[in-house]
Structure 1
Amino acid sequence: GPNYKWVWKAKIPLKIKIFIWQLFQNAVLTRDNMRKRNWPGNPSCSFCRDVETA
């Protein structure tokens, strides 16, 4: 897979590193990802009404 060493070497808080890594892995629970897991809710963004994606 892709090389994510730059994420772990960056001088940013650990929780931000983990979030960035999850974002690149498409593991952040956005509404489109939750729909793939049979979430019954509305997939549109609360702000712009487009389908929410990472």
Structure 2
Amino acid sequence: GPSYKMIWKATIPLKIKIFLWQLFQNVVPTRDNMRRRNWPGNPMCSFCTNVETA
């Protein structure tokens, strides 16, 4: 998509580009994604008591 071109052309470090691309793909290992993979832990955010999402 067009937002990916913006990420890859940005003048930021490669590891930040990869993280942003993963964030847009919703594959960052947040607690809600881990729960979908049968993670037995608590899905609640440690700071705000809501379900942790990207």
Specify if TM > 0.5. Answer: yes
Q: Which has the higher helix share?
A: 2
Give the gaps of 5 or more residues in structure 1: none
Q: Percent identity?
A: 77
TM-score (norm 1): 0.94
TM-score (norm 2): 0.94
Q: Runs in 1 of length 4+ with deviation above 4 angstroms? A: none
Aligned residues: 53
Give the gaps of 5 or more residues in structure 2: none
Aligned-residue Cα RMSD (Å) equals 0.6
